[in-house]
Amino acid sequence: MKKLLLTASYIFYFFYGSFAQQPGIDSLLLVVSKPQQDTGTVIAYRMLAGLVRSSNPLKAAAYGNAGVALGRKLGFDKGVAGCLLNIAACYSAASKMDAALLYIDSAILYSLKVGEPNRIALAYLNRADLHMKQQNLTQSLLDCDSSMHYAEISNNDDRRARVLQTIGSVYYLQQLYRQSADYYDKAYLLYQKIGNSQMSAIVLNNLGNVYKHVKEYEKSVRSFLRAIAIGDSLNDLNNLSMYHENISDAYLQQGNLEAAEKHGLKAMVHAVQQDISTQKANAWECLGSVYLQQKKYPAAIDAGLKAYEIAKAENDVNILFETSDLLAEAYAQSGSHSRAFEFLKINKEINDSLVKKQYDQDIAAMQTRFKVTEKDKEIKILNKDSQLQQQQIKQQRFLIAASAAIVLLSLFGIRLFINRNRLRQRMKELELRNQIAADLHDEVGSSLSSIHMLSQMATRQGNDATHKDILERMSNNAKETMDKMGDIVWMIKPGESESGSLKQRMQSFAYEICSTRNISTLLQLDELEKVKLTMEQRKNIYLIFKEAMNNAVKYSGTEKIEATASLQNNQVILTIRDFGKGFDIDMVKKGNGLENIQHRAKELGGNLSFKSAHGEGTMVKLTMQV
């Protein structure tokens, strides 16, 4: 989600991080250092927290806490509310979400006490953003509803627009893209009404991402182009790099590689101008993806390595994950299989790290929500009489004890579930390693042994003609070994589970092997794109197809081969037919090739049948359930 600007995160910056017409840090430090301290000192602390937050969020939080302490001492509730809002923003910037939520809850209490609808609307909206970051989307929507209530009371279109934009972002995270687009459209109209061009561009960028997810690429490109036009008019260099990166990806998905490269280069220009490492890493990764699709593998590797080195220096695991996958693909396509395996291993390690990190975040969010529940109850009992308060407190204690018991039981259950999954994953990895070892031994070992034997023969023979024949055979065996290695890399590579890649692999092999014998080839494999296949299914289907094609080319004497795939009643039906001399099935002794494909068909839970007669060609038919 790194290419989507979520609303309330920007609100923190907009309201508390921009003080172009206000005193600078040095002037504010002079104010807070004076012996006589009053409400102006509290305001100075609040402003310091806003100014210092981007460079040192924890130091900024300390300024905010000093303002809170002084404001409470002076009874300056309005100043306390402002400082609490800024402290929450500081902890959010420092990724300390539990502390941020606790402070924003206190800010809501003080804002309600002060009674300014504008400030209350902002406080609820900022809490909605924090809940959204914690993936507590239901609570985020509830806070948006509260914020909209106070925005209506204050009749503030800017607040309304920001609430609508936040709701759009919540639906985006839930992958409810149509609802997300509706709220973004409403927010955009309000921003246009009040003349907020910068936020209009941000909403257009978010809309572009929504349309890209639903594959409406023309709408996506139009939205990004409008965002870029506004960004250019405002000279908004910080966001322009992201806008160009997003439209580059949209063009890439659309298949317009020239436009994708053009905007990828512009994203890089703006990232370099800003000299922001993360933006440069994203821009290089964007260009690398474009070059990979253009089959410019050296350029893709160069761009991917630059992005990888920046991300490694910044410890940005998300970009490291994307670039390691990009580099594994680029190296595999360029024939550097050792480097491909190296980055595949890195990609898997990062993926495991991300899964663990997500689990830790989920547990932390659960614990934080438990703490926040207590604060929410404090808000609900605000302005109630003392007797009712005592009664509710007793109920809260009971609920807290019950909740604690439930949380402990849940954590114990989660731990058992995770341990079980880890064991299952280890078993899968062991099976995969054994399978890879077997494939390497069976597919590659024999070819390497043959090359070794031929090389020994070459050293013993003195005849040039014999040398030439041996070297040609060694070359053929080496090529066959490279092909088999390529097949193994393709079969186990993460991210290649899409059936479209299977179709392309089959087409590439068929055209290559048939062209050597001038055999006409008719392939109708589009139905494979509609089926979601596992790595094991892709592997077995491909190897069955490959063996059947090899037999048809080598032994049938055909001038034409047809291969078709169809999907009927949740069954994939693959047929390979030649029009050669055929054979009597009962009279032919089955070799390793036929036994292997029969075994692979059984692994698929399918059925493999042969139909042949002298002079009528041969048809191999695979039927499997999906």
Q: How does residue 396 score in pLDDT terms, banded at 50, 70 and 90?
A: confident
Domain boundaries, the chain: 236-374, 384-495, 497-625
| CATH class entry, domain 497-625 | alpha beta
Q: Please write the tens of the pLDDT for every residue from 179-214.
A: 999 999 999 999 999 999 999 999 999 999 999 999
Partnered with residue 622 across adjacent β-strands are: 574, 608
What is each CA distance from 345 to 338, 357, 361, in whole angstroms? Answer: 11, 18, 24
- Name the architecture of domain 236-374: Alpha Horseshoe (1.25)
Q: How does residue 94 score in pLDDT terms, banded at 50, 70 and 90?
A: confident
User: SS3 of 610, please?
Assistant: strand
Single-letter code of the amino acid located at 88? A
Q: What is the pLDDT of residue 190?
A: 95
Average pLDDT taken over every residue of the chain: 82
Q: Please write the tens of the pLDDT for every residue from 350-376.
A: 888 766 655 555 554 455 445 445 545
User: SS3 of 303, please?
Assistant: helix
pLDDT over 90 at 21, yes or no: no
Q: What is the pLDDT of residue 437?
A: 55
The arithmetic mean of pLDDT across residues 536-563, rounded, is 89
Query: What b/e string do you get for 448-466 counting C-beta neighbours within 10 Å, with b at 16 or more?
Result: eebbeebeeebeeeeeeee
Of residues 529 and 44, more confidence is placed in 44
Tokens read off for 250:
């949209």
Contact in structure between 80 and 71 (CB atoms under 8 Å): yes
pLDDT over 80 at 227, yes or no: yes
Q: How does residue 526 score in pLDDT terms, banded at 50, 70 and 90?
A: confident
Q: Please write the tens of the pLDDT for every residue from 279-303.
A: 888 999 999 999 999 999 999 999 9
Task: Report percent pLDDT > 90 for the chain.
Answer: 42
Contact in structure between 281 and 319 (CB atoms under 8 Å): yes
This prediction has a pTM of 0.54
Contact in structure between 201 and 231 (CB atoms under 8 Å): yes
Q: What is the pLDDT of residue 4?
A: 56
The arithmetic mean of pLDDT across residues 145-156, rounded, is 93
Contact in structure between 29 and 66 (CB atoms under 8 Å): no
